[in-house]
Structure 1
C-alpha cells in the first residue's frame, strides 16, 4: 500500500476507536468484559463465517460476469482478493469511492484486460445497487408496520439513502437504454461547469466520464445478449447481501438475546445499509454505529450488551474487510493471462495498491 493509503487506514482505525470510546463513556469496562465472557462462541464463529461467505459470493459474482471471456479468472486467490481489496478501499475513502478503482487495478494485475475490467465492474455495481434497492422495497412490503414503529426518527436518513440509490441506478439505466441522450446530457453539464471551474480539470473529468460511459454501454450490449449471466450475477449478489445482513442476527444470538426474529433483523440491516450510504465519512463511520444503536436499542435492553453487540457487528462487517484487504494487497495475484495493460497508450497505474 502507498503511504497515503496506509495513512488513511490508520486514520479510520483511530476514528473508529474514538467512536467506540465515545459510546463507552458511560459504560464500565469491567461490565463490558463480563458480557464478553458470556458470549456464545458458536454463534460468534457463525457470524464471522457469514461475513466470509458474503465475500465468497461477491467473488462468484465476478466469476459469473467474466465467464466465457478470453480473460476469465479461474484462480480462486485472484477472485477472492477482489472483494477484500474493495472492502479495504471502500472503508478508507469517502462515499466508498475508492473501491471501484482498486478493484480495477486488482483485476488488471490478475491479467484481465483493462477495458473489460472497467465495464464488468460497472455492471457489477449496477446489479449490486439494484439488489440493495429491491431488498429495501421487500423490507418495506414485508414489515411496513414494524418499520413505521421503529424507524420514524431515522425517516429522513432512510429516504436520503433511497433517493441516492434511485438516482444512481436511474443514471446507469439511462446509459443502457438512452446512450446518446445521456452522453449529450453529461457533455452539456460538464460544459456548463467549465464556466465556473478550472476548464482543464473539467476537460480531464469529462474525458474520464465519457470513457466510463462508453465502456459501460459496450458491456451492457454484451450482457443484454446474455440474460442468464445477468440473472445469475443478480442471484449471487442477493445471496451476498443475505449473508451480510445475517451478521447482525448471529451477533444477537451470540449475545444470547431472547426471541430474536430473523426477518426483523434482516429488515434492520437493510435499513442500516440505506442510512450509511448517505454519510460521506469513509465506511459511514459514526452513522453506522448510530444506526445500530438506535435501531436495536429496543431489542438489546442492557446498555453494556448493546455497546458490545455494536462493536462485534462493526468489527465483522467493517474492520474484518480492512484487515483482509491489507492481506490481499500484500500478496500479489497469479497472472493468468498476458494482456497489454494500457489505456490511451499509457500504462495503467498499478501502484495505488502497493
Structure 2
C-alpha cells in the first residue's frame, strides 16, 4: 500500500470521525450511552455476520470463476480479493480503485494478468446486472415512500440507477453487437480530439478498442457456460441480499422490532444507489445524510438514529477497509498447478 493511499486512509477515518461528531452535536451523551448499553448484542452480531457473509460469498464467486480456468486457486487467495477491493473502494473516488487493486492481488497469486482481467470483468458484469434487478425491486417497494418524504433524494436515486443501467446496457451491447458498439464508441470519442493531443487521443482509442475486444472474446467463451453464469448470478443475489439486510438487524438491535423488513431492505438498496453518485471516497457525508434522512421516520429517537447510522457505517464501510489492510499483509499462496484447457 503506497504512502499516498495510507494518507488517504487516515484522512477518510478523520473525516468519518468528524461526521460522527457533527451528527452527535444535538444528542445527549447520557442518552447515547444508555442506548448503547441496552443494545441487543445478538441482533448486532447478526448484522456483522451479514457483512462477513457478503465478503465470503464474493470470495466464493472469485474462486468459482478462477477455478473454472486455473487449478490450485485456494479459498484463502480468493478471500484476499474482496477484502482488498473493499479497502481501495473505500479510499478512492467513485470506488475506482477497487478493480485495479483486485487485479494486482490476483496477479500476486500467480494468475495471468489477462485471465485475471477476464475474471474481474465477468464478475463485474454479473454484479452490475444483479444491482439493476435488486434496484428495480426496491424501486417498486420503496420509491413512493422516498418520493413523498424526500423528493430531492428521489432524483439522485433515479440518476444513480440510470448510470448503472447505462453501464450494463453498454456491456450487453459489446457482448451481442460488438462491431456496432466499437464504431459507436469511436464516434462518441471524436469530440475529445478538440481537447487532448493527437498522440494521447490515439493511445486512448487503441486502449479502449483493446478492452472492448478483450471483453467480447471473454463474453463469447462465457456465454457457452450458462450453468456457471447462473451459479454466479445466484451467489451474487445471495451476496447482495445479506448486505441489504444489515440496517434491518441494526434496527432490531435498537429495539425496533415491528419494522417492515421489505421496506427497510428496499430503502437500503436506494441508499447504496445514492452513495454511488458521490465523488468523495466512500460517499462520505452523503452516505450518512441519506441514512438519517431515509430512516428518520422509522427511528424516532434522535440518539438511536445517530447510533444506528454510526453502527451501519462502521459495519458496511470501516470494517471492510480495516480487514482489507489485514488482507494486504497476508502473503498469498502461489498458483502452481497447470492451467485448465
TM-score (structure 2 length as normaliser): 0.94
| CA distance 1:6–1:73, shift in 2 (3 Å) | farther
Structure 2 residue 340 is matched with structure 1 residue 334:
no
Unaligned runs of 5+ in 2: none
- d(CA) in 1 for partners of 2:245 and 2:108? 32
Structure 2 residue 189 is matched with structure 1 residue 183:
no
Is the CA contact 1:119–1:212 (under 8 Å) kept in the aligned structure 2? no
Is the CA contact 1:248–1:313 (under 8 Å) kept in the aligned structure 2? yes
Name 1:49's counterpart in structure 2: 49
Aligned counterparts, 1:1-354, within 5 A: 1-69=1-69, 71-72=70-71, 74-143=73-142, 145-337=144-336
Number of equivalences: 339
1:246-283 deviations in Å (ceiling 9; x for gaps):
11111111111231221111101111111111111111
- d(CA) in 1 for partners of 2:180 and 2:281? 33
The more displaced of 127-136 and 143-152 is 143-152
Name 1:346's counterpart in structure 2: none
Is the CA contact 2:141–2:263 (under 8 Å) kept in the aligned structure 1? no
Is the CA contact 1:109–1:335 (under 8 Å) kept in the aligned structure 2? yes
Structure 2 residue matching 1:194: 3-state secondary structure: helix
| CA distance 1:320–1:73, shift in 2 (3 Å) | farther
Is the CA contact 2:85–2:101 (under 8 Å) kept in the aligned structure 1? yes
- d(CA) in 2 for partners of 1:98 and 1:334? 23
1:48-97 deviations in Å (ceiling 9; x for gaps):
1110000011111112222331x245311101110011111111111110
The more displaced of 212-221 and 86-95 is 212-221
Is the CA contact 1:118–1:212 (under 8 Å) kept in the aligned structure 2? no
1:221-250 deviations in Å (ceiling 9; x for gaps):
111100111111111111110110111111
- d(CA) in 2 for partners of 1:216 and 1:40? 47
- d(CA) in 1 for partners of 2:107 and 2:120? 12
Alpha-carbon offset, residue 37 of structure 1: 0.9
| CA distance 1:72–1:62, shift in 2 (3 Å) | farther
Is the CA contact 1:40–1:256 (under 8 Å) kept in the aligned structure 2? yes
Structure 2 residue matching 1:190: 3-state secondary structure: helix
Unaligned runs of 5+ in 1: 341-354
- d(CA) in 1 for partners of 2:230 and 2:326? 31
Structure 1 residue ranges, 4+ long, deviating more than 6 angstroms after superposition: none
- d(CA) in 2 for partners of 1:3 and 1:338? 35
- d(CA) in 1 for partners of 2:289 and 2:129? 25
1:161-187 deviations in Å (ceiling 9; x for gaps):
111111111111111111112222223
